């Protein structure tokens, strides 16, 4: 059964995020000048759907973007919808930031491994980083009503921090950036996912 499900996922045509889609948000602009249009990660959307929620899988092969570790472009969910992530394979660093204009109000870093779960709070943008030499595979539950908002991240040239070979580097495009706040992931999946169904002021917030 599990083998058949895996084969079904592999046979789906994923949405592919290429380097040209992310040029505005890359840290190492010098490397970017001569880099080819690489395929960076693969998004399998709507693997499962249940009670208004959608389950996606994202596959991020190990790679360096010059000095920076490969990652997703980064987005915020519309209407304050929360999102639930889990690591299926490899290791992930989730960067979550809440921004008002060019000022970052809060930035959370959570490192997760297979079996861990991470909740993205309302109105936080999230970026998934692959800091290892192995393929990273994540799953996420999110409301079908929400839309991905990329313009905030694009406007500022990326998140407020980049994860590089030299560690965390601040994005100088932001007027004010607080210190990183580290949080541990959940060790089990929440029993009730109703908190994902309500947008801002909706059915509850799991933190």
d(C-alpha 207, C-alpha 205), whole Å: 6
* Spatial contact of 126 and 120, defined as CB atoms under 8 Å apart: yes
* Spatial contact of 152 and 99, defined as CB atoms under 8 Å apart: yes
For position 76, which CATH number holds? 2.60.120.10
User: Domain total for the chain?
Assistant: 1
* Spatial contact of 69 and 85, defined as CB atoms under 8 Å apart: no
Does residue 205 lie in a domain region? no
d(C-alpha 135, C-alpha 188), whole Å: 22
3-state helix vs strand vs coil in the chain, percent to 5:
15, 45, 40
Over its length of 207 residues, how does the chain's per-residue pLDDT go in tens digits? 445 555 556 567 999 999 999 999 999 999 999 999 999 999 999 999 999 999 999 999 999 999 999 999 999 999 999 999 999 999 999 999 999 989 999 999 999 999 999 999 999 999 999 999 999 999 999 999 999 999 999 999 999 999 999 999 999 999 999 999 999 999 999 999 999 998 874 544 444
Does residue 200 lie in a domain region? no
d(C-alpha 89, C-alpha 203), whole Å: 31
Listed residue (115, 109, 106, 101) closest to 188, CA to CA: 115
Does residue 127 lie in a domain region? yes
Does residue 201 lie in a domain region? no
């Amino acid at each position: 059964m599990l083998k058949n499900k895996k084969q079904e996922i592999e046979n789906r045509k994923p949405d592919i995020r290429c380097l040209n889609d992310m040029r505005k948000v890359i840290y190492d602009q010098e490397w970017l000048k001569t880099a080819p249009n690489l395929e960076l990660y693969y998004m399998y959307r709507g693997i499962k759907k249940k009670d208004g929620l959608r389950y996606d899988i994202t596959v991020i092969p190990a790679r360096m973007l010059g000095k920076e570790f490969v990652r997703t472009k980064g987005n915020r969910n519309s209407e304050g919808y929360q999102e639930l992530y889990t690591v299926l394979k490899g290791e992930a660093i989730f960067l979550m930031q809440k921004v008002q204009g060019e000022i970052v109000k809060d930035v959370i870093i959570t490192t997760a491994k297979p079996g861990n779960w991470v909740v993205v709070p309302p109105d936080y943008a999230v970026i998934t980083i692959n800091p290892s030499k192995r393929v990273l595979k994540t799953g996420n539950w999110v409301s079908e009503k929400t839309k991905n908002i990329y313009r905030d991240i694009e406007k500022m040239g990326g998140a407020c921090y980049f994860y590089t070979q030299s560690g965390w580097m601040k994005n100088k495009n932001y007027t004010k950036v607080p210190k990183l706040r580290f949080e541990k992931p959940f060790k089990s999946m929440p029993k009730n996912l109703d908190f994902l169904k309500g947008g801002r002021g909706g059915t509850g917030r799991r933190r």
